[in-house]
């Protein structure tokens, strides 16, 4: 036992640093999400009582796991469920001897992440469960982040945990032959958390830094535990996108397009970190979608000005991305890149190919992109109609104000011509 003082602030810091690791191992040992969460809290309550007098243990994680495990075993025995949990309470076992070296604990974090992101769960449940269990947000915080009522969110999490239990979803990291099929689900959940924070689905503000930071930390943790090219690629993509956060809105909260952003506000440290993760991803083959998207973001991040952007390379990267992951949204982004490389008319011709896609026609950014290219091509009347269509579909308040401002400027131009 160390003699390090154990003030409430010290213990709170240990909670922030170690609670997710302790919880992940308790879930494995007790095979019960709710019981593990209860025992995690009891272990920290015990720490608040004992550590100020006895000092912080040399290995606080092991102490908390052992304490929480003992509380769990006691709870199981009190509930007289020994038979159903017999594998947890072998008579010769001493719960205080839980193996707590870093490797198995890290494995437990991976197990928890893959369990939260299991494809048997609905995507909304995966995101909510990951934020609750991996990121340590309270139910109220998760509900606020996902713009849902706390009671609705709590019910979703309860159903997800019940599904894990009733369906016998294994609490494990997939083996090597399963990993290529399972890893994309995990990465998708992390990126959805990032996007929910980086471009809020509704509301006055365009950025929720806490969600973005949680997503980046998740990706970095996963990269350390599971070195894989696409994990590196996702970390790179998020850092490079996040580097522009201070330039995305002006002092009045108005949206600023990438072309008009003050690049001196871009965070160079985040750009360097993103480029470092991208370099690691590119050393591994094959190059996959997140790495390709990060490569596109890197072209923007390293261009000295909008006019210096290497649109030729960006189009080639979009070509490769579309071959791997064909979608209407990627086609839309490629069309805009072609317009910047060649001409607005060339981009518009590609956008016309998307007119049969219901998904795209209900996507406000399709109409906004079309309006911008029509404006650049000089067809102001058609651009006005496209901006009006975009405004009927947009949800996010800063984007709504931006589109309304563009429409107002366009109408002033049209009025001046008549």
Domain boundaries, the chain: 8-100
Quick one: DSSP state of residue 377? H
Judged by average pLDDT, the poorest of 53-57, 322-326, 406-410 is 53-57
Share of the chain above pLDDT 90, in %: 50
pLDDT, residue 106, reads: 63
Name the pTM for this structure: 0.79
pLDDT tens-digit map of 193-247: 888 776 554 445 556 677 788 889 889 988 988 888 999 999 999 999 999 999 9
Q: What is the dihedral of CA 191, 194, 195, 201, to 10 degrees?
A: 130
CATH number of the domain located at residue range(s) 8-100 in this protein: 1.10.1740
Of residues 214, 192, 71, the one with CA closest to residue 136: 214
Phi, psi dihedrals of residue 249, rounded to the nearest 5°: -135, 145
- Whether 349 has a pLDDT exceeding 90, the answer reads yes
pLDDT, residue 200, reads: 53
pLDDT, residue 86, reads: 53
Report the alpha-carbon angle 222-228-234, nearest 5: 65
pLDDT, residue 66, reads: 93
Q: Find residue 396's DSSP bridge partners.
A: 203
3-state secondary structure of 255: strand
Quote the tokens at residue 3. Answer: 């003699």
pLDDT, residue 160, reads: 93
- Whether 364 has a pLDDT exceeding 90, the answer reads yes
C-alpha count within 13 angstroms, C-beta hemisphere, residue 393: 15
4 — pLDDT class (breaks 50, 70, 90):
low
pLDDT, residue 88, reads: 55
Quick one: DSSP state of residue 36? H
pLDDT tens-digit map of 181-190: 889 989 998 9
């Amino acid at each position: 036992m160390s003699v390090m003082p154990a003030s409430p602030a010290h213990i709170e810091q240990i909670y922030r640093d170690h609670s997710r690791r302790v919880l992940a191992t308790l879930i494995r040992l007790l095979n019960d999400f709710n019981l593990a969460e209860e025992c995690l809290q009891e272990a920290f309550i015990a720490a608040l009582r004992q550590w100020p007098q006895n000092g912080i243990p040399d290995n606080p994680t092991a102490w908390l796991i052992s304490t929480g495990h003992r509380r769990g075993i006691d709870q199981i025995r009190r509930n007289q469920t020994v038979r159903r949990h017999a594998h947890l309470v072998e008579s010769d076992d001493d719960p205080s001897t839980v193996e707590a070296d870093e490797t198995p604990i890290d494995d437990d974090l991976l197990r928890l992440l893959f369990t939260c992101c299991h494809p048997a769960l609905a995507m909304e449940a995966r995101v909510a469960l990951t934020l609750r269990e991996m990121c340590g947000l309270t139910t109220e915080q998760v509900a606020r982040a996902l713009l849902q009522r706390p009671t609705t969110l709590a019910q979703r999490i309860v159903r997800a945990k019940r599904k894990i239990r009733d369906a016998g979803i294994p609490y494990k990291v997939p083996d090597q032959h399963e990993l290529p099929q399972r890893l994309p689900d995990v990465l998708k959940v992390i990126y959805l958390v990032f996007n929910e924070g980086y471009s809020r689905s509704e509301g006055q503000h365009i950025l929720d830094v806490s969600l973005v930071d949680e997503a980046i930390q998740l990706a970095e943790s996963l990269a350390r535990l599971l070195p894989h090219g696409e994990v590196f690629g996702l970390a790179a993509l998020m850092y490079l996108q996040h580097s522009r956060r201070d330039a995305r809105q002006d002092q009045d909260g108005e949206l600023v397009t990438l072309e008009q952003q003050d690049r001196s506000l871009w965070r160079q440290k985040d750009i360097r970190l993103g480029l470092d993760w991208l370099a690691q991803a590119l050393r591994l083959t094959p190059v996959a979608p997140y790495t390709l998207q990060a490569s596109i973001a890197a072209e923007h991040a390293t261009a000295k000005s909008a006019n210096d952007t290497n649109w030729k390379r960006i189009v080639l990267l979009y070509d490769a991305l579309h071959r791997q992951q064909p979608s209407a949204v990627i086609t839309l982004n490629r069309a805009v890149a072609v317009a910047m490389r060649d001409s607005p008319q060339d981009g518009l011709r590609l956008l016309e190919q998307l007119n049969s896609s219901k998904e795209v026609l209900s996507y406000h950014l399709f109409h906004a992109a079309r309006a911008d290219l029509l404006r650049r091509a000089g067809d102001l009347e058609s651009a006005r109609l496209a901006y009006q269509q975009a405004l009927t579909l947009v949800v996010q308040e800063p984007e709504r104000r931006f589109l309304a401002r563009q429409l107002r400027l366009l109408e002033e131009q049209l009025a001046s011509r008549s």
